[in-house]
Amino acid sequence: GGIALSANASDSKTSSSSSDALVFDPDAYTKLTKTITDTEGTEHKVVYHFWKAITYVAKPVDATYQSLIVSAPVEIDGKAVDASNAPILFANSVGGYLPASVATATEVGGGGSAMGGGAAPSGAPSASASTSASASAPGANGNTNATGGATSSNQLLALAAGYVVIEPGARGRTLKNSGGEYYGTAPAAIVDLKAAVRYVKSNKGRIPGNVERIVSAGTSAGGALSSLLGASGDSPVYDKYLKEIGAADASDAIFATGAWCPITDLEHADGAYEWNWGANDLSTGKLVDQTVSKALQAQFAEYQAGLKLRGLGGFGPLSARNLDEYMVEQYLQPSAATYLAALSDSARETYLKANTFITWSDGKATFTWADFLTHVGARKKDTPAFDAFDLSAGENNEFGAGTTLARHFTAYGAKNDSTGLSSKRVASDIPAKLDLMNPMHHLVAKVNPNRSKHWWIRLGTKDSDTSLTVAANLAARLDNLGDDVNHLYYWDEGHGANTDPGDFITWIAQVTG
């Protein structure tokens, strides 16, 4: 122990109790047992200490969300384990930028966003039969399928591997107080996750696990927040928000980052979406407004050029003109090849007969971008996918403020507003909020030296919740900065997939070891 917690300077009266409130009590656990099935199908009996919801800030706005749970293994398959210096999996269960709570969690994997995230059904904890806790959430054009707890298998497998698992809740976009004010919109969720990291780090020596080896994980909006947490470690731009809620005085930098289908880079996501899915029909069979789609694609081309990225694998400079070739060569063909190689000969034959656009030879799959797009089929979202003209997207709500439910956050969205707003421009606070929410800001505009340097990024090839390029650009930027990036796409998988959780657990051991 022995880490001093600084009192919140703005409120000396509560300062000593604030400090006390942020001291982790090592003895306040219950002892639980869980049978966890690993990815090979082998069952492991894990005895662990479980700390139920602990409020991680001294001045909570809403402790239902600003709390975390801790799980630390003490015995695995009858053998005592000491997790006091083990890596910490810091797994959020945010989905849809909605509030996520662990307030009532009674075991590991117990968090989740309001629309039905990570709560593991007790008694049936199969880590391998994992991936699909999903439910509908209000989102773009009403058709967003948010997936909060898709990666709860990560938590279970991490525990069975001997790691400490810490699961933070966080405020989300729909929360409204009695005065009608939205208090969980941007940047609340990232501020809360940072406050939770600060709580963990300020309790070094008291809380189980190695606080210098925190590995973040999250899916979709939670993947966006995870990558933002990794990119923005110790950035001073969050300080005033952290002070407001009485965050512990400690670093919020994390060691490594896992992100599944991150719905991020929101202010460029409309253009990226059209670049990727512009020619694909909606599920109704209708093509989206091609004038809007083309205008957004032109914006994306400019953005992509400005990023000045070099592709992985020695591909060279990326542009909107060669990005299709890059996506196919670097990600999609290898993804298909991995998928096909794992099939039995007869299953592969059947698949290839049904998908003649793929040429399979010498363990390699080849196809064109255009054929791939046809293969994926209907796009999930209308245009613009994120800053909807009618303010109906979940992201419009994410950028709500005060008593305003939803706002535009791009110049193009504001200009084309269809709700009768008098102003056709984004509000003056929006640019700073976008920076607070975008990992790319911390990697491009202001390269953050305190970012995490190890990255695990995953995305399904049939996930049209955002453009496939969002994750690829994030990975390319990190790679170009010299970070260690492990990025691949899951063939034919949709939103929220996590088909190699065992590999993630192994990767954690490798990078933290």
Q: Which residues bind ligand DHB (CB under 6 A)?
A: 95-97, 139-140, 144, 146-147, 220-221, 263, 394-395, 465
Q: Which is nearer to ligand DHB, 17 or 136 (CB)?
A: 136
Q: Which is nearer to ligand DHB, 189 or 248 (CB)?
A: 189
Q: Which helix (H) or strand (E) holds 383?
A: none
Beta carbon of residue 65, minimum distance to ligand DHB (angstroms, whole number): 16
Q: Which is nearer to ligand DHB, 203 or 219 (CB)?
A: 219
- Give the integer Cα–Cα distance in Å for 509 and 158: 10
Beta carbon of residue 104, minimum distance to ligand DHB (angstroms, whole number): 21
Where do we find the tokens 């914006």?
299
Q: Which is nearer to ligand DHB, 112 or 394 (CB)?
A: 394
Q: Which is nearer to ligand DHB, 73 or 149 (CB)?
A: 149
Q: Which residues contact 83 (CB under 8 A, 6 or more apart)?
A: 72, 73, 74, 162, 163, 164, 208, 209
Q: Which is nearer to ligand DHB, 108 or 114 (CB)?
A: 114
Beta carbon of residue 146, minimum distance to ligand DHB (angstroms, whole number): 3
C-beta of residue 166 within 8 angstroms of C-beta of residue 109: no
Beta carbon of residue 163, minimum distance to ligand DHB (angstroms, whole number): 24
Beta carbon of residue 217, minimum distance to ligand DHB (angstroms, whole number): 14
Structure tokens at 193: 């996750």
Q: Which residues contact 201 (CB under 8 A, 6 or more apart)?
A: 211, 214, 248, 250, 251, 252
Beta carbon of residue 381, minimum distance to ligand DHB (angstroms, whole number): 7
Per DSSP bridges, beta strands 214-217 and 88-91 are: parallel
Question: Which residues are bridge partners to 43 per DSSP?
Answer: 37
Q: In this chain, which residue has its C-beta nearest to ligand DHB?
A: 220
Beta carbon of residue 94, minimum distance to ligand DHB (angstroms, whole number): 7
Beta carbon of residue 154, minimum distance to ligand DHB (angstroms, whole number): 16
Q: Which is nearer to ligand DHB, 260 or 507 (CB)?
A: 260
Q: Which is nearer to ligand DHB, 126 or 143 (CB)?
A: 143
- Give the integer Cα–Cα distance in Å for 223 and 257: 9
Beta carbon of residue 150, minimum distance to ligand DHB (angstroms, whole number): 8
Beta carbon of residue 79, minimum distance to ligand DHB (angstroms, whole number): 38
Exposed, middle or buried by CB within 10 Å (0-12, 13-18, 19+), for 282? middle
Residue 56's closest CA among 215, 230, 200?
Answer: 200
Residue 61 to residues 199, 251, 286, Cα–Cα distance (Å): 16, 21, 44
Q: Which is nearer to ligand DHB, 245 or 272 (CB)?
A: 272
Q: Which helix (H) or strand (E) holds 307?
A: helix 290-307
Residue 56's closest CA among 207, 214, 233?
Answer: 207
Q: Which is nearer to ligand DHB, 39 or 141 (CB)?
A: 141
Residue 158's closest CA among 213, 224, 100?
Answer: 213
Q: Which helix (H) or strand (E) holds 324?
A: helix 323-326
Would you say the C-alpha torsion 442, 443, 447, 453 has a positive or negative sign?
A: positive
